[in-house]
Amino acid sequence: MLKKVLVANRGEIAVRIIRTLREMDIGSVAVFSDADRAALHVRMADEAVHIGAAPAAESYLDVERILDAARQTGADALHPGYGFLSENEQLVVACAAAGVTFVGPPVEAIRSMGSKTEARARMIEAGVPVVPGGRAGDIEEARKEADRIGYPVMIKAAMGGGGKGMRLVHRADDLEHAYERAKSEAGASFGDATVYLERAIIRPRHVEIQLLGDQQGHVVHLFERDCSIQRRHQKVVEEAPCPVADATLIQKMGQVAIRAAEAVGYYSAGTVEFLLDESGAFYFLEMNTRLQVEHPITEWITGIDLVREMVRIAAGEALGYGQEGIRRNGASIECRIYAEDPNRFLPSPGTVTRLRTPGGPFVRDDGGVYSGFEVSPHYDPLISKVSTWGPDRATAIRRMSRALSEYVVTGIRTNIAFHQRLLAHPEFLAGRYHTGFIEEHADRLTAECSTERDEGQGAGATADLATALAVAVSQTERRSAQGSAGENQSGPSAWLRSHRLRQLS
């Protein structure tokens, strides 16, 4: 088993990974930028290493600095989380060269699925259904492909995701302008301006299949997640099961997803994303070769800790169970809590003056902030993910509504009010939604959302910070009490040894 894992990320996902590492009795190393010196993941890790300035390009996206941190601390493995370098083949190659185990899939799978055009070709070869489409090397080729597959068409960045470099085109007269805009955005966002075309599926659902595979060649699926509630192609709410998919459809989608993973020799956690149209036909969208933001809802319905499984697989262990050993239990929903203006969906950086997270039966809050923490403008504004479980969908939704009513964040704007309105919308309650749902019902979902700030730092915030510090001290004292064979007890104290902050020269 691995002994010490460097978490090459920040915020709530770094905190979430560190928690599982502690349960597995594996040492953890955090990395942090100038903006994150006081971040929760830094406080929770056994060790923390400063890796650069606030801009991600000078810290969290710097492969050499991250690998240097691993060498300094003696970390024998690295978990990339999601975002940043999580699907970067350069990091995987660098880990191998440094003798550091990458907690994720093989570089060949990342490379194959990282290019949307190559992924499409590999999936077609494997017999996986894909949306009709083709290359668009220049505007003339784009016109020919659009005429061949028929309008409306979607222009997509070959190397991207998250809605960047994507344009919907309904008419031939609009193609050239949209094509140039998409190429420009793709180049700026991903360093590669290559785009391609797909037929636009109107009013689709975004349904994904969670996979786990080991290095011995076993691959299983952990059912589906419906991620159709999106704004600007970014997921906002996810749930499992999908309200409109029956067991037969999910079994078929799961089998196709496993076939897709096997086609690229995949192991670790991964997700195959599909577009599901109104007739029940589904098409391969992409494969995310990493842990997903929305993984908690799969953990709720299966009882499987996906981070733990990733660590076991990276250490060479077999899954130890087959498809028949995985059971679905109940329903789960997740709401992403962003530091943003809920009316305009614009980031709202600032200092969290008070924080009270929800609790109670079957409520989980994956957060990365505390009272007094400054939400930086340099990074994604996601501050927390609230997820709930229930024996059925209606119970999970009611429980989420109750949890959101308990959630208190002041000092910054959040989208909590938006989520409350969404959960009360009759069409959402009926399960009748698609990827354009937020835009279609924007007036009702954003009207009267509170955007007030509480600029004062009250006693509640001070108490919350004291609690966070007490937890950190308790964890450190526990580590110190355990001791380590062969340590020089006359040297620095256990506190300094286990929580030293290193500066990269």
pLDDT digits (tens, 9 = 90+) for 168-198: 999 999 999 999 999 999 998 888 999 999 9
The DSSP secondary-structure symbol of 361 reads: T
Task: Give percent of the chain above pLDDT 90.
Answer: 81
C-beta separation of 33 from 60 below 8 A: yes
The residues facing 213 across adjacent strands are 219, 268
> In CATH, which superfamily holds the domain spanning 132-199?
ATP-grasp fold, A domain (3.30.1490.20)
CATH architecture of 205-446: 2-Layer Sandwich (3.30)
Among candidate residues 10, 199, 290, 399, the one labeled active-site is 290
Interval 412-431: pLDDT, tens: 999 999 999 999 999 999 99
Interval 38-59: pLDDT, tens: 999 999 999 999 999 999 999 9
For the cut 80, the answer to whether the pLDDT of residue 13 exceeds it is yes
Interval 143-160: pLDDT, tens: 999 999 999 999 999 887
Q: How confident is the model at residue 328 (pLDDT cuts 50, 70, 90)?
A: very high
The DSSP secondary-structure symbol of 48 reads: E
The DSSP secondary-structure symbol of 443 reads: H
- Name the E strands within 268-414: 268-276, 282-288, 331-338, 340-341, 346-347, 350-351, 354-356, 363-367, 374-375, 382-390, 408-410
Cβ within 8 Å of residue 19, ≥6 positions away:
44
Q: How confident is the model at residue 446 (pLDDT cuts 50, 70, 90)?
A: confident
For the cut 80, the answer to whether the pLDDT of residue 494 exceeds it is no
What per-residue string of b and e applies to 345-362 under the rule 16 or more CB within 10 Å gives b? Answer: bebbebbbbbbebbeeeb
pLDDT of residue 233: 85
Task: Give percent of the chain above pLDDT 70.
Answer: 88
Place of tokens 């302008």: 177
C-beta separation of 504 from 51 below 8 A: yes
Across 236-258, average pLDDT: 97
Report CA-CA distances (Å) from 170 to 102, 147, 155, 201. Answer: 43, 12, 11, 12
Interval 226-244: pLDDT, tens: 999 999 889 999 999 999 9
C-beta separation of 319 from 214 below 8 A: yes
Helix (H) or strand (E) holding 47: strand 47-52
Report CA-CA distances (Å) from 378 to 60, 277, 292. Answer: 11, 37, 21
Interval 70-105: pLDDT, tens: 999 999 999 999 999 999 999 999 999 999 999 999
Q: What is the mean pLDDT of the chain?
A: 89
Indicate the Cα dihedral angle 188, 190, 192, 193, nearest 10°: -50
The residues facing 47 across adjacent strands are 29
Q: How confident is the model at residue 449 (pLDDT cuts 50, 70, 90)?
A: low
The reported pTM is 0.84
Interval 57-78: pLDDT, tens: 999 999 999 999 999 999 999 9
For the cut 50, the answer to whether the pLDDT of residue 167 exceeds it is yes
Instruction: Report which residue type is found at 437.
Output: F
Across 459-477, average pLDDT: 40
pLDDT of residue 342: 81
For the cut 90, the answer to whether the pLDDT of residue 345 exceeds it is no
Q: Among 381, 372, 375, which Cα is nearest to 344's?
A: 381
For the cut 50, the answer to whether the pLDDT of residue 273 exceeds it is yes
Structure tokens at 214: 């080991």
For the cut 50, the answer to whether the pLDDT of residue 466 exceeds it is no
Instruction: Report which residue type is found at 78.
Output: L
pLDDT of residue 235: 95
Interval 298-312: pLDDT, tens: 999 999 999 999 999
Helix (H) or strand (E) holding 27: strand 27-33
CATH topology of domain 1-103+466-505: Rossmann fold (3.40.50)
What per-residue string of b and e applies to 327-337 under the rule 16 or more CB within 10 Å gives b? Answer: ebebbbbbbbb
Across 356-370, average pLDDT: 97
Catalytic residue check, 122: no
**Most distant pair of Cα atoms in the chain: their distance:** 77
Q: How confident is the model at residue 465 (pLDDT cuts 50, 70, 90)?
A: very low
pLDDT of residue 486: 36
Domain boundaries, the chain: 1-103+466-505, 132-199, 205-446
Q: How confident is the model at residue 488 (pLDDT cuts 50, 70, 90)?
A: very low
Cα distance between residue 68 and residue 49, in whole Å: 10
Q: Among 200, 192, 196, which Cα is nearest to 118's?
A: 196
